[in-house]
Amino acid sequence: MGSLFEDIDDTIFDDKDVLAEEYQPDEILERDDEIGQYKHTLKDVLFGRNPTNVMLYGKAGVGKTAVTTYVLNELQAEAETRDETSDVHVHRFNCNGETVFSTVRALVNQLLPAHAADFPKRGLSTSDALEEFYSQLERVGGTHLVVFDELDHLEDANTLLYDIPRARAKGDLEDARIGIIGISNNYKFRDRLSSKVRDALNEDEIAFSTYTANELQNILRDRAEKALVDDGFDESAIRLAAALAAKDNGSARQALDLLRKGGEIAERNDDSTVTEHHIDAARDAVRRGRLKDKISDQSTHAQLVLEAMARIENRGDTPARSKEVMSVYQEVAVDREQEPLSTLKSVQNHLSDLTMLGFLTQNQVNEGRGGGVYHEYELDMTPDVVFGTCDELFATTF
């Protein structure tokens, strides 16, 4: 009996990894303006000055992380060529679902010498963790840039963003220098910070707009030429994938997913070229996958609020006011063995964020002097996608 896979001897992909989410291109296309802003903001590092803090805003898939990686790699490489420039160290951490303590602890562990024991998970305070963090920064020396991805999901971001920028002023750092690079999908994140934190942070902002269809075509064509064999794609596939992603949310990640999935469908059908028909066939699978990823990217309580909206939608009770959502959210939190948020304002903040991200639609209702003005919410996706994703997410928690 022959091998199960012996008949597989050809592939439409030359380098499929080029279409993967974690792939870092050598050249960043269609982000010259943002790279230019970044370059200007971080130039002080090359002259031994304190780094300027930076906040990046934009929807998922618009290049924030890729541009950050590219710019920081270039900065480190340039610093190595200059004798007068101190070493530049880059630390990265994803804040989704994290506390200030767990975040600082993770950074400490990145800095500790290889032979040292990890910083304890329990028994010490956030102040203890920050003290050790500064101690390790001083030990290593040089300039440190800390990249906080999904910073808007960090529990009590005010504490972290107030303490770190003031480290030298307080005497916690003398030789080492530190700068914060925050990445957020939430344009309103800064508004939630206290005024004293905004003053301490004193950051430069870089906003990443969504990609246009033409920009996505250029990105897709470049990746397709690297990922697929010669003559492995038709221009019709590039145009359709770009148009679909631009119409949805302007995400390069979504466009690349469409191209990858289209290639897999073409390969399954023994077709040698990816065409618009393969992209069209990939639409539903990619959309469901993207929705699941977007839900997974949210904080725990945002997921619970979204599941509450899905329950309300499923029983036909939408549009719903925030008080109704609050009631169902508390039920969902108990069912998922989570401690629910206690204030209506907290739930309203999550509803606002979920609306901005495209999960919900919001309508303003004006009932005049007697009834006042309030908002009602509806789910803007299939409830089954929310239920299935939340079942998977919370099943892995316990």
Q: Is 62 annotated as a binding residue?
A: yes
Arithmetic mean of pLDDT, 377-386: 89
Same domain, 304 and 321: yes
Same domain, 113 and 195: yes
pLDDT tens sequence across 12-24: 999 999 999 899 9
Q: Is 66 annotated as a binding residue?
A: yes
- Domain boundary at 260, 295, 330, which? 295
Q: Answer yes or no: is 88 within a domain.
A: yes
Domain total for the chain?
Answer: 3
State in Å, rounded, how far the first CA of the chain is from the last one: 44
Q: Is 212 annotated as a binding residue?
A: no
Q: Is 396 annotated as a binding residue?
A: no
Same domain, 267 and 313: no
Q: Is 16 annotated as a binding residue?
A: no
pLDDT tens sequence across 215-257: 999 999 999 999 999 999 999 999 999 999 999 888 999 999 9
Our CA angle for 314, 317, 320, nearest 5°, is: 115
Q: Is 64 annotated as a binding residue?
A: yes
What CATH number did the domain enclosing 274 receive? 1.10.8.60
Same domain, 320 and 345: yes
pLDDT tens sequence across 102-146: 999 999 999 999 899 999 999 999 999 999 999 999 999 999 999
**Beta-strand (E) ranges in the chain?**
54-57, 88-94, 143-149, 177-184, 204-207, 320-321, 360-366, 373-379
Same domain, 219 and 345: no
Alpha carbon distance 29, 40 (integer Å)? 19
Residue 372 region, left (φ>0) first, then alpha (ψ -120 to 50), else beta? left
170 near 134, Cβ under 8 Å? no
Q: Is 370's pLDDT higher than 70? A: no
Q: Is 65 annotated as a binding residue?
A: yes
Same domain, 259 and 368: no
Same domain, 307 and 340: yes
Phi, psi angle pair for 24, to nearest 5°: -110, 110
Domain of 303, in residue numbers? 298-395
* Length of the chain in terms of residues written: 398
Average pLDDT, the chain: 91
Residue 288 has a pLDDT of 79
- Domain boundary at 259, 276, 295, which? 295
Same domain, 226 and 255: yes
Alpha carbon distance 50, 174 (integer Å)? 12
